[in-house]
Every structure is written in C-alpha cells, then in structure tokens.
Chain A
Amino acid sequence: MIELRDVSKQFVLHNQGSAVIPVLQGAALQVSHGECVALTGNSGAGKSTLMRMVYGNYLADAGAIVVDGVDLVTAAPRDILALRRQSLGYVSQFLRVVPRVPTLEVVAEPLLMLRVERAAAMARAEQLLGLLNIPERLWSLSPTTFSGGEQQRVNIARGFAYSYPALLLDEPTASLDPVNRAVVLSLIEEAKARGAAILGIFHDAEARARVCDRSIDVSDFTPKAA
C-alpha cells in the first residue's frame, strides 16, 4: 500500500550561503494492508521528514514514493490532493484549522469532502469526540482555544473520521493521559483490523510495542558523510 524506493532528500538553504543539508539517501520501505510500521531513530534522523514526504508535504529529490498506486514524487498537485482525500490520512502533532469553524465540523470535514451525507458525517464526528472524551459543550466551539491535549485529541478524531486505507501517524499518543492513550491505541488497532496500512512515529515505546508489527530505523538512510 505504501512503498518507498531509493528515496533521497536534501535541504538547500539559499539564504544561508546555499548550505546543503543532506537528510536521507536510499530510503526504501514497504507497508502492507493491515500492517503498522514504526519509524525509529534519534531525533534529527529524518523520521518526520520521511513522513512528510510520504504525505507529499515535502518534496523528494529522487526515488519513488508510491501510495495506493500514486507516485507522490511525480504526481500533479491535484492527484496528491485526491489521494489525500480518498486514501491517505495524516495525524500530525499540531492542529491547523480555520478560526471560527466548530470542532464538530473540523472532525467531520474529511467525510464531508468525500460527499458523505451530512447527518452520517456528524454522527461519526460525535462518536469519535465522545470516545476521545472531549466534553460535549465544546463541540460547537472552535478548537483554536482548546488546551494542547484537547487539540491533539480533536486532531486524532479528525484523522480517524474517515477509514483511510493508508494512514500516517506522527506521535499520536504524545501528551495524552492514560485513558485517552488507550482509546487512541484501540483506534489504531481497529484501523489495522480493517486493513489500513499505517506508518507511524511513536516515541512511546510501550505503545509502539503494542500496535506496531515492525520498526524501521531511519538512521539507516542517513547519508554517509562524504
């Protein structure tokens, strides 16, 4: 479902003396249906960069990143957008929303974008928000004013609203209390059970041990200093 072949990436900082920072080289991995794979490695090894590349948020310099048959390295923007709508979910660490949009809408949006009937989308959003213990009185408010933990849970609810066949998780259990952490882990297990291919970053070793089938050490892709 997710496949990387010989992917490399470097940052060129044009405004800082054209400094070249190589990040990844020869990265390759595969995630199959129903599988959860963890990216590991030290801070700065390029876990987040790799994840963002799989989402199309960062450009790859070479190689192929194929998700559900679409190569993100060569795909047109609208094909990447269509992929994100229909196949590829991403739970980032930060919630980015338009001010004024109520929490319920934020969570239901991925479903609404796919033209799911409004009532059904809202019902799903309510179910997830309830599951993640977001008090009902907050549902009609914009999440911009929520606490960090609440925002993170809204973000997770949004990421799981639609059953994406491929899912990227960036620290999904960070800053969560044990109860909510357990809810998130079971959501991940459910997604696996329905056949989703999941690629994630988990600093929480216990969580990783529970949901991940295997790990890939990103430091293996760190370019060797010439």
Chain B
Amino acid sequence: MKDMTQDTDVLLSVRGLSKFYGARIGCTEVSFDLFPGEVMGIVGESGSGKSTLLNCMAGHLAPDCGEVLFAGRDGDLQDTLKMSEPERRMLGRTDWAFVHQHARDGLRMNVSAGGNVGERLMAVGARHYGAIREGAVDWLGRVEIAEDRIDDRPTAFSGGMQQRLQIARNLITGPRLVFMDEPTGGLDVSVQARLLDLLRGLVREMGLSAVIVTHDLAVVRLLADRLMVMKDGLVVESGLTDQVLDDPQHGYTQLLVSSVLQV
C-alpha cells in the first residue's frame, strides 16, 4: 500500500505513567503512543483515573513514575516531566493547549472575549494591537461567535459560547497537541452537537492531535480515532474507536457500551 507510513514519527509517547494518592491508585502503568493528526479518547466512569492521567500528561499533576515524551519541532523526543518549569510553561502556551471542562477554569472571566483570545498571542510576543485584534476576530468567527461580541466579557456568554471561546483561545497559536477534559460536559445536547461538529472540523482542518477525556461514548465515537478504556486506574482495553465500541472485549467495556441508552 502506498504512503501508509508517511507520518511514522511519534508526537507524544507516554510510558509507564503512574500516580498514587497515598495508598489509593490514581492511574497505573499507562503507556501509549500518539501520532500527528491522531485523536485519542479516554473513557471510563468517574474515579477511573482518566482525569488524573490527563492532568499528569499535561503537567498539571506530578506523576510518581513514568515518562511523557513529546516531539519538539526539531523532532526530538523530550521528557516533559524532566523539563524545567519555564520550558514546560512555554510548551503550554505554544505547542500544547488544554481545554477545561468548565470554561471558567480556562478563561479570564473579567477580560473581554477578544482579550481572552489574544492573550496567547501576546504571551508569545505579539505587540501589534491591530494584528492581535484581527487574529481574535478571525478565531471568534471560526468558533461561530459573532464579531460584535468581541468586546463583551465571557460572563455575558452562554455555556456553549464560553466553551467555544475557550477553544478559540487555545487554538489561536496553532498548537500541535490539545488536551481536552470533558469538553462537552455540562452542556445541553443541542449545544454539544454544535461543539462536537466544530471540534471535528478544527481537528481535521488543522491536523490537530488531541487527547480527549470524557465519559460520553458519543463524543469519542465522533471525535476519536482511538480509544482507551479505563477502570480503577488501569487501562483495561484500547484500540480503534469503532472496534472498541462495537466489539468490546473486556467485561467492563461491554458493560459501559451496553449501558448507553438508545435513542
């Protein structure tokens, strides 16, 4: 087959990642590779360790052991856990992005929509107001927020708009890897659908790689190429998303899949 191996360079490689809260297990021995353009979903019920895993990968929590290797723009894999804090924070506003479940955790609620979206640009040195504003307008459009809302604060936005604003704020600097923690959680179903469609389009268009944590199987079905199922801190099953959902092998995954109400 032709050009099947074109993107063989790993973007993110997680190896043996474990985190304990005292005697309690957060997550144990998680290993996987993520390739450029791939979207991986992590599903499991509350307390399964999926959020712990995400926060360990994103550098918000310090794991007890393991490695989180990320390919820099030079292509070399570097352990982000061993990076100095300035390096890691720089990564956090350039190549990485993090979309929080609650938009207010990822937004500055007392700063206008335009300021929120422009912040990452200013953080990496943009000093031309006109250009920053132009970038903000462009991104608000891409997440379907009307240009005339640019000077409104997020407090005046609906939950769905806040979440879209958070996404614009994260993606404006063209990150290569996005971590998402329940991006559609707490939103109305109709709002969720719009957000999912938007995310899917952006992922395709920008060739984004993403790790999405959710308990909503419909979300991963639509967005994720691959799936990891977690239970009690362990990855019990992983594979191609539709394969894991349609032909689950592990008892827990079978339970999870069969528990979804049919509409």
By the criterion CB–CB under 8 Å, are B193 and A77 in contact? no
Q: CB of B65 within 8 A of chain A?
A: no
Tell which of A13, A98, A101, A112 has the most Cβ of chain B within 10 Å.
Answer: A98
CA distance A80 to B1 in the complex (A): 12
Q: B255 to A15, Cβ gap below 8 A?
A: yes
What distance in Å separates the Cβ of A148 from its nearest Cβ neighbour in chain B?
16
Most buried by B among A15, A59, A77: A77
B46 at the interface (CB under 8 A from A): no
Q: A98-B196, A98-B222, A100-B197 are in contact. Are A52 and B2 (CB under 8 A)?
A: no
Q: How far is the CB of A116 from chain B (nearest CB, A)?
A: 14
Chain A residues, CB < 8 A from B258? 15
CB distance from B97 to the nearest CB of A (A): 22
Contact B255 A59 (CB under 8 A): no
Interface residues of B in 207-258 (CB under 8 A from A): 222, 225-226, 239-240, 242-243, 246-247, 249-251, 254-255, 258
**Contacts A14-B251, A14-B254; A83 near B243 (Cβ below 8 A):** no
Q: How far is the CA of A70 from the CA of B240 in the complex (A)?
A: 15
Is the pair B193, A81 in contact by a Cβ cutoff of 8 Å?
no
Question: Are A70 and B1 closer than 8 Å at their CB atoms?
Answer: yes
Mark out the residues of chain A between 187 and 216 whose CB falls within 8 Å of any chain B CB in the assembled complex: none
Minimum Cβ distance to chain A for residue B251 (Å): 3
**Interface size for chain A: under 10, 10 to 19, 20 to 34, or 35 or more residues?**
20 to 34
Q: Assuming A56-B240, A59-B249, A81-B225, is B4 touching A70 (CB within 8 A)?
A: yes
Contact of A13 among B240, B246, B254 (CB under 8 A): B254
Say whether A77 contacts B4, CB under 8 Å: no
Taking Cβ atoms with an 8 Å cutoff, the residues of A that contact B are 11-15, 52, 56-59, 68-70, 77-83, 86-87, 98-101, 112-113
B residues near A82, Cβ cutoff 8 Å: 1, 4
Chain A residues with Cβ under 8 A from B35's Cβ?
A: 78
Sort A-B residue pairs by CB-CB distance and give the 3 closest, nearest first. Answer: A14-B251, A58-B247, A99-B193
Known: A59-B249, A77-B226. A98 touches B242 (CB 8 A): no
Nearest residue, chain A, Cβ from B255: A15
Residues of A within 8 A of B222 (CB): 98
Contacts of A78 in B (CB 8 A): 35, 38, 225-226
Specify the chain A residue showing the minimal Cβ separation from B35. A78
Q: Is the CB of A100 within 8 A of B226?
A: no
Query: Which residue in A12, A13, A83, A101 is a CB contact (below 8 Å) of B4?
Result: A83
Residues on B with beta carbons closer than 8 Å to the beta carbon of A57: 240, 242-243, 246-247
- Collect the chain B residues with CB atoms within 8 Å of residue A52's CB: 246-247
* Contact present for A15 and B251 (CB under 8 Å): yes
- B247 engages A81 (CB within 8 Å): no
Q: Which residues of B contact A59 (CB under 8 A)?
A: 239, 243, 247, 249
Measured CB to CB, the nearest residue on chain A to B192 is A99
A112 to B38, CA, bound (A): 17
